[in-house]
Amino acid sequence: MTKINIREIALLSIIEIMEKGKMSHLVLAQVLKKYQYLEKQDRAFLSRLVEGTIERIITLDYILNQFSSVPTEKMKPVIRNILRLSLYQILYMDGVPESAACNEAVKLAEKKGFKNLKGFVNGILRTIERRKDSIQYPDEKKEGTWYLSVFYSTPEWIIKQWIEQYGIEKARKMLEVSYKEERGISVRCNIEKRTKEEIRQMLEKEGVVVEECSYPDYALRISGYDYLEGLEAFREGFISVQDINSMMAAEKCGVKKGDFVLDVCAAPGGKSIHIAEKLNATGHVEARDLSKNKVNFIQENIERSGLKNIEAVVQDALILTKKDENRADIVIADLPCSGLGVIGKKNDLKYKMTEETQKELKQLQQKILSVVWRYVKKGGILFYSTCTVNKKENEENTEWFLKEYPFELEESRTFLQGIDDGDGFYFARFRKKE
């Protein structure tokens, strides 16, 4: 059997993400599923290479450009990403010998058809290896936001936006959250099936590191596992992956037994399933999304949960379904957004998002809200949420909605990553006037 080259798999994954626009969490999930037979240590090394390199792209390119006669943006994509991957190992992975990182980079360049550029790759990496203590960074006092951009590998426009909206101290804390080595994931325990303590014991028996979350009381944070789908608690539907702040949708929407709930942008279905659990085998949840692929994903999660009071439906949130007007006790509108609250987990989002796209997403949210409010019966709830921390999408759209439609605001809140526990998240609960 041919020996698997972990660095080559990491390189191909990084190219898929940075050059072809694929989503990092989806690419890595597919790769880990394909190579689930590898040793846990190899899979952890692969994850660290991909996630770490992607996380630090701006920093890595800034350093490479000090030592290369060819700017990274002018390099061939394969060479650019071999250098990024290898420099990440030299600078940030103490367990990898620097000579190994350099040698493997040269081998990868040759294997990928760039034998003539072996010397170029080797020369840059060996020079940085020798002179890494003399790397020049922007002056923090003279170039404050550019310094933060290079240091935290985050586009400067995002940093300026966060400073403007939240101030420098909060902005720094929001940037720092991405750099925790082992962040783990939060999971929601289905306490209708097993007690939280039983689920904890089941996870620990499989070698998972389990910690308490600050809220809610049915959530746990897990890390140190090899393969999520290999965990019995996950396969049996005893746990669902969901951020603790995302769990606030079911906590804050006021769901009660017998309610009819529409979730208009539901994939992957975490909020819908959580609400269906809270209905305790009564009522009905219709979890909608735009594409068959997304709805199939929701359906997989529903089947794993074993719930019968929920269905997944293909439906464009921009198109009104007349039969549902004034029918829903609760409409969940967790809408497409810039995602800047989750860049600690989806660390390529920060490179792909632009201010122009943010404006387009704000308008898209308004278009969806202008349709889905009609589904709410008088006295019912519209629960609007996003996984961004951009006030122009969140608070400004809340103000707009209140001016346009017959609702009153009962509660709203922003959770900031690095300041509150969990991801960045915003919600506003509106009640339709009688």
Give the catalytic positions in this structure. 387
Evaluated on CA atoms 63, 69, 71, 75, the torsion sign reads negative
Residue 256 tokens, joined: 């009660």
SS3 281: coil
Tokens 């770490």, residue? 52
* Main-chain phi, psi angles of 257, to 5 degrees: -55, 135
User: Residues near 366 by Cβ (< 8 Å), separated by ≥ 6?
Assistant: 397, 400, 401
- In DSSP terms, 432 is beta-bridged to 407
Among 419, 431, 420, 340, CA closest to 383: 431
CB 268 within 8 A of CB 298: yes
* Main-chain phi, psi angles of 116, to 5 degrees: -70, -15
168/273 Cα distance (integer angstroms): 38
309/372 Cα distance (integer angstroms): 21
Tokens 């103490």, residue? 94
- In DSSP terms, 151 is beta-bridged to none
